[in-house]
Amino acid sequence: AKAFGLRVLFYDPYVRDGADKALGVDRAETLEDLLAVSDAVSLHANLTASNVRLLDARAFAAIKKENCVLVNTARGELIDDAALLASLENGTLAAACLDVHWHEPFAEPPGGDRGRALVEAGRLVCTPHAAWYSSEALTEIRVLASENIARALRGDPLHNVVNLDHIVQPPRTPVSTI
C-alpha cells in the first residue's frame, strides 16, 4: 500500500512501541480507532483464544468510511460471519474478500442463501484459501526451500524457521570443508 502512496495504519497490541516509526507506518491505539478511519482493512493475525471473532458486530459498527472493504487472508475465525453478513447487507461494508473461512476446505459462502446473494451481487468474494497460489509462488517456494537446505548444509543460520527452539543443531563440519 505504501508503494502506491497510501497511508498504512495498523493495530497490534503486541507489537513494541516504535515499530511503526521503523516501518514508516502509523499506529492506531485501538481496533475501533483503526476501523473508524480505514478505507480498506486487511487482517494479518494469528488465531488465539482472545481474538476469536475479533471483528464482531461492535467492531463492524466502528466502521465510519463509506465504501470500506475487508480482506481476510489470516484466519476465518477472526470474523463473526453473522456480523459480517449484516455489515454487508446494511452497507457498513462495501465488500469483503475472504480467502480463509470457519470451515475449510471452503464449500460455500457463510450464511447460506444470504452469503450466496452477496456473492452474486459482487460484494462478497470467497476463495478456497489459495490466494497465494500462482506459478511464481510455487517457484519461489522451491527456491527458498533449496536455499535454506543449502544454509543448513553449510552450517549457516536458517531463515524463517518457526520452531527453531525445537531443532537440535549438533556441532557439525560444514559440507564446504569436507
With 60 as the cut, is the pLDDT of residue 171 above it?
Answer: no
Q: Give per-residue pLDDT as tens, 44-69.
A: 999 999 999 999 999 999 999 999 99
10 or 130, greater pLDDT: 10
* Integer Cα distance of 66 and 33 in angstroms: 16
* Integer Cα distance of 52 and 46 in angstroms: 10
**44 among known catalytic residues:** no
Structure pTM?
0.75
Backbone angles phi, psi at 28, to 5 degrees: -90, 140
Q: Which of 104, 108, 140, 147 is catalytic?
A: 104
Q: Give per-residue pLDDT as tens, 74-123.
A: 999 999 999 999 999 999 999 999 999 998 888 888 888 999 999 999 99
**103 among known catalytic residues:** no
**75 among known catalytic residues:** yes
